[in-house]
Structure 1
């Protein structure tokens, strides 16, 4: 019985020692990380810093931390905060066209994934889609009341800015026969707001829809959304006289980008939430990055 007293004193001491070690280790890590970050920044040239910062679907996708983002992709709050608070140079948005020809902003193929609706937008009238509540699940829905908006809703807000930002339109079309209808619907809204063509980039994974845009507006930049097959994609780009490519940052390398530059192609990368991932994309010297963490990219290049 008498031996139990000292043990009760030793354990609190061990706990405090452990907490002290953890605290010192954490502090040293942050100091090291800060010093390394400063060294990385010094390596960057003015050419690296020219990269255009594009908010990927606004503030990107639902994220629990680094950074915390409860806003749905393509929602109005996400898009406007990317510009006004995070300091993006422009926006990337995902565009569907409803059955009755209204461009609608939504990321996924069907409404089932992130909203209270169901089905594909191209099969539904706009009135049954615009205004549907986004559903991100717990805990995100406690922090937002966002609803699906149209491209026109966004443009109405963008025209209030001192100048229109860069705008990348990532197309969502699932029926080849609708290509011309899709292009007319989207360009019609853009022309209504007199959106500068030089500020626009149209992105899609197949050249046929991109060509439908070129028929109506020959000046618009057309970029192919590519996958892992860089060589095959490059052949498609050159054969169809497209202006460049959009690729996930981790699926492309320096030599491939140099080859794209040889053909005077524009290169846009997307993705990146962790600072090191974004830094690696910056080193590749793309024209623009559609980034998931705008503030981190700004700290690197600005």
Structure 2
């Protein structure tokens, strides 16, 4: 005689009950978390809400979820969507200078990682780089057909806005002998488009290239992309009379920022995709956040 039937029914009922309990518990957790987080946001002061929202390479980097982002960093669509749709106050872009002096936007050190090209941009003429298709791999390339653009391509588009957005230029240079050439090529282009100097920030990890920018444009705002050794980085900033620092949000604390403020330095943080990570950066009261999730930060700052 087969007695498995009733047992199977009981087992299935228990499984459905367990799934129901888990689903209800998960829903209650998210409701509780959302309510609690909204209360935290309400506690933000006007000083917290002054932070500038800067799109990190536009909409940041390829991301599978939270949020899904198939757009390459520094691509035109990514940059413009960050401004027009997500509410960014400005953009952070990564700038190389080609062998023949053309500033080009691309994040990584070599073209091998995100395109069909090979080598460093500074070793190639612009004609070998501009227009190369971005390669993000599966599934991103089903959703994007972006190509590598120049800084001038972006500046032409930014001219169409009612006013220029803030622009952070994160420099990508690997040959110190080119420092003067690099700085002059970038500054000449910015001057051609009459970009307001008060909305420009120049960022690099070594002071020598930043000092070359100071010579090319004495009014330029120069920030050091600091190392994990905060004390050594601070000494470099002060010794070279730089204007501030850029740090990954999770690698800096309130005491360090307070010390930077003591020396009247500007503080820019970068990173942050999850709302909790972004919220912790806001609490540190930086001047700007180069954020990986512009929409989340903008929503957080709404009163």
Q: Structure 1 length as normaliser, TM-score?
A: 0.99
Distance 2:30 2:230 in 1: 38
Q: Which runs of 4+ in 1 moved over 6 A?
A: none
| 1:300 maps to 2:303 | no
Alignment pair present for 1:62 and 2:62:
yes
> Deviation digits for residues 229-251 of structure 1, max 9, x if unmatched?
11111111111110000000011
Unaligned runs of 5+ in 2: none
Task: Return the alpha-carbon distance in structure 1 between the equivalents of residues 25 and 227 of structure 2.
Answer: 41
* Cα distance in 1 for residues equivalent to 2:74 and 2:298: 21
Where 1:96 maps in the other structure, the secondary structure is: strand
Cα drift, residue 205 of structure 1: 0.5
Tell me the residue number matched to 1:161.
161
Aligned to 2:142: 142
CA distance in 2, matches of 1:281, 1:255: 13
Quote the residue 2:170 is aligned against: 170
Query: Deviation of residue 2 (structure 1)?
Result: 3.5
Mapped partners of 1:22, 1:84: distance in 2: 40
Could you tell me whether the CA contact under 8 Å between 1:227 and 1:251 is conserved in 2?
Answer: no
**Cα distance, 1:257 vs. partner?**
0.4
- Residue 82 of structure 1 aligns with which residue? 82
Secondary structure of the 1:223 match is strand
Q: What's the counterpart of residue 219 of structure 1?
A: 219
* 8 Å contact kept, 1:130–1:149: yes
Q: Distance in 2 between matches of 1:247 and 1:131?
A: 32
CA–CA distance in structure 1, aligned partners of residues 202 and 158 of structure 2:
18
Aligned residues: 302
Deviation of 1:294 (Å): 0.7
Within-5 A mapping of 1:176-255: 176-255=176-255
Give the Cα–Cα distance (whole angstroms) in 2 for the partners of residues 40 and 244 of structure 1.
29
Alignment partners' CA distance in 2, 1:159 and 1:134: 25
Cα RMSD (Å) of the superposition? 0.8
Aligned to 1:12: 12
Structure 1 distance, partners of 2:8, 2:47, is: 63
Q: CA deviation at 1:44?
A: 1.1
The answer (yes or no) to whether the contact 1:94–1:170 under 8 Å persists in 2 is yes
The answer to whether structure 1 residue 268 and structure 2 residue 268 are counterparts is yes
Superposed CA deviations along residues 220-269 of structure 1, whole A, max 9, x for unmatched, are: 10000001111111111111110000000011110110110011100000
- Partner residue of 1:104? 104
In 2: Cα distance, 1:23 partner to 1:162 partner: 48
